[in-house]
Amino acid sequence: MSKKIVIVGGSAAGMAAAGRSKRLSPDLDIHILETSKFISYNICSLPYYVSGEIPSQQSLIKHTPESLKQKYGIHAHTGCRALKILPWKRQLLYKDTDNRTQSSLDYDKLVLATGYKPHLPHLGKKVKGLFTVSRLEDGIGLVEALEASSTVVVVGAGYVGLMIAEALKKRGLSVTLLEQGDQVYPLVDVDMAQLIQTELEYNGIFIRLKHKVTNLETIGGKLKAFRVGRHYFDCDLGLVDIGVVPNIQLADESGIGLGISGGIAVNSQGKTNSPDIFAAGNCAETIHLVTGEPIVSTLATTAAKQGRVVGENLAGRRSEFDGTLETSIEKVFNLGVSRTGLTLHQALKHGYKATATKISTRDNSAPSPVSDRIHVKLVYTMSSGRLLGGQIIGPGDAAKRIDTLSVALTAGLNVRQLSQLDLAYAPPFSTLLDPIQIAANVALRKLRDD
């Protein structure tokens, strides 16, 4: 008899585990449970649906339960919420969210790919006009609410907040961004964040830092304003993005071990402490490749790779996931913004004797037809110059250069080795010394005290 695999969660990790295991072992009987009505959609493109650049929600959806069944023989159960795991019976209890009936699925192997959920310590009320964005339904609801709206307040300047602020600005709304911290986009250091803030403000986003929302004001159950101390920020719509937490309730209530990061503890193969139960994606721990410490990634890239590794193990292979550098990239109006490894702030917090070098240079060789500025920040140890992280802001695809630093981090290179790299040059693409190497040379001078 064919083995039965049950996967809880149909996003990046769950879909990767399903697809990879089925490809290697076509006999597997694979079932995916997904709370949402949709499965296998591109959540990272949701801002482009909100902005109207992607006209229909259909083009965000890669597969339907029908196409998964037909093309891959994978069974998807959408609109189903997992309730409880009974490990000793190898059984999962779940509820159909439409007809509210409870059912069960037996499994040989179970995969938890439950992702993350918005963290809403004091703004979690169900209020009309108040949105979070972590599922396709959220984006659809937001677009439906646009017609009657002209002002929006976005609470939190993390990457979802920035993406949605830009999308709604493109829809013609008046957009106010409230951030409780002292910078936008805390994934980069404050000096780099100032460049992002300038770009946002230049494009008409009204930003207030150090503004912690203390309360919501409603009229007739509908959002009316956010309150920050004695100030009120009126709006027709509110979007809250003040952080996410790994969605571990199901695991925790079923006695599956959590790690110190707060995510489900797994080994490099994705195995939990419960026999026959795997976890992958933004609910599961992995290792940060610079610090060596456990971390829960919030990235779809990490989730997809973790899911793929679990899929290979489900198919009887021994496959391992090495870890994450939390490499990410975003487009903020006309800027690309990227980062990998540790920011200087993070490095110092982790106890590294670290320093940083930031350079700003033209993106392309001087007499080239196309040219603009690129900003590169390198974070490295003061003793050996070992790279700890990097941040890049620039026009076009310039920020995708972060991959060069990501590989350098993986290989444990120092700034001298960075300066010796053989990076590609031609006038339309770069300066003779790539901006990364210009930064590495400045860092070398700092280390040697030239």
Residues at the interface with a second copy (CB under 8 A):
12, 24, 42, 44-45, 48-49, 53-54, 59-60, 62, 289, 299-302, 304-305, 321-322, 324-331, 336, 338, 340, 365-369, 396-404, 406-408, 410-411, 413, 417, 420-430, 432-434, 450
Least Cβ distance, residue 210 to a second copy (angstroms):
28
Q: Would you say 65 or 435 has its CB closer to a second copy?
A: 435
Nearest alpha-carbon partner for 395 in 423, 432, 435: 435
Structure tokens given for 331: 């487009």
Using the 8-state DSSP alphabet, how is residue 54 labeled? S
Structure tokens given for 289: 């490749």
Q: Would you say 355 or 430 has its CB closer to a second copy?
A: 430
Structure tokens given for 109: 């192997």
Least Cβ distance, residue 144 to a second copy (angstroms):
19
Least Cβ distance, residue 324 to a second copy (angstroms):
5
Name residues whose C-beta falls within 8 Å of residue 416's C-beta, 6 or more positions apart in sequence.
385, 440, 444
Pairwise CA distance, residues 105 & 90, whole Å:
9
Q: Would you say 258 or 402 has its CB closer to a second copy?
A: 402
Name residues whose C-beta falls within 8 Å of residue 263's C-beta, 6 or more positions apart in sequence.
246, 248, 279, 283, 284, 285, 294, 296
Least Cβ distance, residue 114 to a second copy (angstroms):
19
Structure tokens given for 254: 């079923």
Q: Would you say 206 or 429 has its CB closer to a second copy?
A: 429
Three-state DSSP class for residue 413: coil
Q: Would you say 9 or 129 has its CB closer to a second copy?
A: 9
Q: Would you say 183 or 364 has its CB closer to a second copy?
A: 364
Pairwise CA distance, residues 129 & 77, whole Å:
29
Least Cβ distance, residue 89 to a second copy (angstroms):
34
Least Cβ distance, residue 320 to a second copy (angstroms):
9
Pairwise CA distance, residues 120 & 132, whole Å:
9
Least Cβ distance, residue 244 to a second copy (angstroms):
17
Q: Would you say 44 or 140 has its CB closer to a second copy?
A: 44
Structure tokens given for 333: 């109006």
